[in-house]
Structure formats: structure tokens, C-alpha cells
A and B are shown apart, each in its own frame.
Chain A
Amino acid sequence: MRSLIGAKQQKWLLLAPALTVLALISFVPFVQTLWLSFSDSEISALPTVVSFIGLENYIYALTDPDFIDSLGRTLYFTFVSVGAEVILGVAVALLLNQQFKGRTLMRALIILPWAIPTIVNAVTWRLIYNPEYGALNSLLMQLGIIGEYQSWLGNPDVAMNMVILADVWKNFPLVAYVALAALQTVPMDMLNAARLEGANAWRRFFKITLPWIIGPLLVIIVLRSVEAFRVFDIIYVMTRGGPANQTKTASFYVYQEYFSYLRSGSGSSYAIIVALISIILIFGYYKAAKRQNGSL
């Protein structure tokens, strides 16, 4: 009974540590950012008057065609890398769910890319793509696939995809692991029954396996999408946004407004736009998941 009486106080006691840290580190700056996004605040060591300017920052950002382009690119990065991670991850999980010699070793091996720090990953792929001495050029040349060395990160038509490849390499293992775990829970009898009814492997996968593992996959898709939409570090190291802006994602604009142009008000509005789109993305996934579950 004691626990029921104290439930209310207990709730807050349990929340206290998380609340304290987040209130200090995240909420206060969050609210501050929200307010700044409607102001003309700038970074200055001189006393300045900050005034409320309504939606002006948002209008400025959303009428900048370069920023709109960057939003498109960020969505491209998000969908293509997360999409590739999911397809590759599920395929690998199906593969590792088979019985073969050395399965345990193979399962341990694929965690490797994911454990490599982002910065190391970015630096490694940069070296691999190096136009003069890179491994990719040398390999493709020796295999006779290319006739001369290419400038992978300098070519506006492929640079983004090369960055995506590096990102997929690092992040697909997590998806594979989740998918593998989910596969263990697919009821064998359902699969066997379908097999007896003459459903081919393809059909069995889409009708039984996939719906069964989509729930756990969705968790990881949301997680990866939020991360991918804020992507900064890997691009900062690999291309700095070039060539000709082709890898300049939305986070770069936040960075640029704050740290290059010193407009904290405007920078805040860019940040809020990025956060809002993330939330819309998640909401979209959530809706999709609901529909998926409803049809089951």
C-alpha cells in the first residue's frame, strides 16, 4: 500500500536525475533557441538590443533556394542511406540466419564497422577515395573497371553517394543485428505451413517474415533517420559540403549561421526547421507503422 500512497512523489523522485540534467543542459538552451529564432539576435561582445522580429528569420531561410536545395539533399541522404541500411541489413540478417560453418564468427565480424568511430570512418573512406593514391582508384583500375583515376569526392554527381556509401558501411550492422534478432521470433510453424501451401521463398518473406519483423525494424529506422537528418560530422570531415554544395546538408546551414555569420537568431530558426522536419519524419513513420499493424 505504501507504494501507492507515495506514487506521485515517487514519480518525481524517479524523474529527478534525468530532469535535472536535461533541464540544465537541454531545456534551457532549447527554450532560448526557440525565442531567439524569432529575434534578430547576433553574437557580439558589445551591448546590443535584441528585438522580436516575428517570422522574418523563417521567411528568410525558406525563401533561400540554396537552403531549400540543402533540405532536399538532406532528405536524399536520409532516405538513401537509411533505405540502403535497411535493405542491406535485412538481407545480411537473412543470410546470417542460415546454417553454415563459421556463423558465430561471421556474426561477430559484422559488428566491426559499427564500432569504428565516425571520425575514423570518415577519415578512412577519405583515404580510400583519395584521387591520387586511394585504394578505390587502384583497385578499380587493376580490375580494369576504370581507365583512369577518378576524383570521387570532387565529382558533384557522385560525391554525395560516396559519402552515403561510407555512412551505410558504418551503420548497416546495427540494422542487421536488430533484424537478426527479430527473425528469431518469426514462428517456424507459420513459415512451414506456407511452404506446404506452395508459397515460394519470396512470397513467404513478404507475407510472413517482413510483417513480423517490421516493428523492431521501425524502431531502428526512426533512430537512424533522426541521426541521418542531422548529419554533420562525417560530411564535415569528408567534404566540408563541397563540391559546389553537393554534400552541404541542413546542419551546415545551422553551423554556418551561428559560427560563420554570427547570427544566433537566424541560426536558431534553421535549427528549429531541422528539428521540425525530424519530428514530421518520425510522425510519418509512426503513421506508417500503425497502418501496417492495422492490416495484420
Chain B
Amino acid sequence: MHSTIKRPRHLSCLLYASLTLLAFFVLAPVLWLLLMSLSSPTDLTKVPLQWIPSQWDFSRYALLLDWQNGSGKRFLAAMLNSLIIATSASFIALVAGVLAAYAFSRRNASMLLMFAFLATIMMPPITYILPLYSAFSELGILNTKVSLIICYSAMLIPFAIWLMKTNIDVLPEEIEHAAMIEGAGTIYTLRKVVLPIILPAIGATAMLSFLTAWDEFFYALIFSSDLSAKTIPVAIADFSAGRVTDFGVIASVGVLASVPPVLIALFFQRFIVSGLVGGSVKG
């Protein structure tokens, strides 16, 4: 794989210098957010800044993670909503995506339809808000997690189909034929033959979907009105729009809101590569 030629000294230096720079660029904002969440308000308004807190202040986390407390409850409820909504929407998008992708790859579904699917995500999402609002209100599902799950599924499905399709396209069709000749049905073949091979792509799609759904702000802002459906981005907007003089509160909300997506990303990261590239690399 990699050549093990010994590197000249000056190249080594350059390599490690670049790596240090990269690490700084990637980590500095995150570390600063973390430090802000743990600094006292007075440290945060010093000029020039007090980089290392003069005293560590964990009070905001205590507040946010306390279900009994008003803002803690708001925050935790939003966290829970986001988890439920992002997970369900990703799951729906995956199932619908795999099935449809198979239809496009192996059952000659019209590419025109594929383009129609993809065209829906070119539109600025704001466009869909008003028609959906009236539709949801007529169905009586405004301000429910269900309405957001449906919206996000619709947002994720075209992308899921596309990713899945590129991955199924490159699979050799012979294995599926063999299974079918032995009498296996399509769903069975899909589950037992195709799915195991494209597992990395599924992992990648799941992760991308989850992060996209976790991120979404504007639908959630308009469609949700209380703790029963408010998601974490809306909660963050609430926290930073309210009367807070203390940047530390905003920072700690940001830190906590990032924990689930970061864990998911770290867990799934090995899939992204093969999932995203699997279909498009030649050779």
C-alpha cells in the first residue's frame, strides 16, 4: 500500500508542521466553545480575553441537565425530540431509499422520475413551508413530531435514493440472478444478498441523514410551538434570542447539542468513505 521510503528530514518537519496547523484549525473553535461554556461571565468579557478560566464554572451544565429546572426541561425535551425525529426520519428515508434505488438500478424505473425526485431538493425549503402548514393543520398534526418526521423524510429520501443507487449500480448483477433463479423473491434477495454488500453505503447514508435532520432549523421553527415537538436548533435559537448577557450559557447549549451528532459521526466515520465513494470510483 504505502511506500515505506524514509522521509528526508525537512519533509518530516513540513509534515508535522502542517499537521499541527490542521489540528489547530480544526480544534480551536471547538475548544474555545468548550472553554466559554466553563468560564465565568467576567472572564468572558475581559479585554484581552482570559483564555484559561480563572475558575471553572460548571453551573450552566448543572442547570441545563436538570429536568426539574425550567431551562433544563426545555433543553432536555428538545434534545429528546431531536433524537426521536432524526432517528425516525433517517430510518424511513433509508427504507424508502433502498427500495426505490433498487427499482431504479434493477427494475428500469424511469430516470425522469429520478430527476423529479432530485429536483425537489433544489428548491429552497422555505417554499414548502406555507402549503405544508395548511396541510398539517388540516390533518391536525401541527406541532407534533410526526409532522417533522414526514417533512424530514421527504427531504432525505431523494438523497438516500441517489447514494444507494450509485452503490447498487456497481454491484455485479449475477449474484442476484442466481438467488432469484433459486426462487428467492425480490425482497428476500434485497435483504439477504444486496443489503450485506452495501452495508457501508447504508451506514454512510444513515449518518448523513441523521446529521441533516438534526441540523434542520426552519421547518422546525415554524411547525413546532412547544416542548412536544421543538427540536434542538429551535431551542438554541430561543436560548440565544432570549435575554442572555452570558455567552457561557449559549456556549454550553451548543456543546451539549453537538454531543449526539459527534458520537454518531465518530461511530459511523469508517462508513462514510466507502459509502460515498463506493459507487463512483472506477476500478
Contact = CB atoms under 8 A, between A and B. Distances in A.
Contacts of A43: 130
Interface of B: 1-4, 15-16, 18-19, 22-23, 25-27, 29-30, 32-33, 36, 44-49, 51, 92, 95-97, 99-100, 102-103, 107-109, 113, 116-117, 119-132, 135, 150-151, 153-154, 157-159, 161, 166, 180, 183, 185-186, 211, 214-215, 217-218, 232-233, 236-237, 240, 247, 250-251, 254, 257-258, 261-262, 264-266, 269, 272-274, 276-277, 280-283
Contacts of B113: 15
Contact of B119 (A12, A30, A178, A255): A30
A118 B30 CA distance: 13
B154 A21 contact: yes
A21 B96 contact: yes
Describe B's contact surface by its main secondary structure. Answer: helix
A95 B15 contact: yes
Interface stretch (A55-63, A105-113, A152-160): A105-113
A17 B273 contact: no
A125 interface: yes
A254 B254 CA distance: 28
Contacts of A220: 276
Given A32-B131, A117-B214, A138-B47, A128 B32 contact: yes
Given A124-B251, A215-B282, A258-B129, 13 more contacts: A6-B186, A15-B103, A21-B157, A24-B135, A24-B154, A25-B154, A109-B26, A128-B29, A182-B277, A233-B218, A251-B124, A271-B126, A279-B119
Closest 7 CB pairs of A and B: A25-B154, A181-B273, A115-B265, A14-B103, A26-B120, A18-B100, A11-B107
9 contacts: A3-B180, A10-B186, A15-B100, A16-B99, A27-B116, A29-B132, A119-B236, A216-B280, A232-B126
A119 B214 CA distance: 10
Contact of B95 (A17, A123, A124, A279): A17
A169 interface: yes
B92 A116 contact: no
A112 B24 CA distance: 12
Given A111-B265, A118-B217, A264 B130 contact: yes
Contact of B276 (A117, A120, A125, A178): A178
A238 to B, nearest CB: 11
A123 B250 contact: yes
A220 to B, nearest CB: 7
Nearest to A140: B48
B131 A28 contact: yes
A128 to B, nearest CB: 6
Contacts of B30: 112-113, 116
B4 to A, nearest CB: 7
Contacts of B262: 112, 115-116
Given A11-B108, A30-B119, A115-B258, A215 B265 contact: no
Nearest to A8: B107
Nearest to A270: B124
Contacts of B18: 95
A22 B97 CA distance: 11
A138 B49 contact: yes
A177 B274 CA distance: 10
B277 A124 contact: no
B257 A117 contact: yes
B125 A117 contact: no
Contact of A120 (B3, B161, B254): B254
B125 A113 contact: no
Given A123-B250, A123-B254, A169 B119 contact: no
A92 interface: yes
Contact of B265 (A6, A30, A114, A279): A114
Contacts of B92: 17, 21
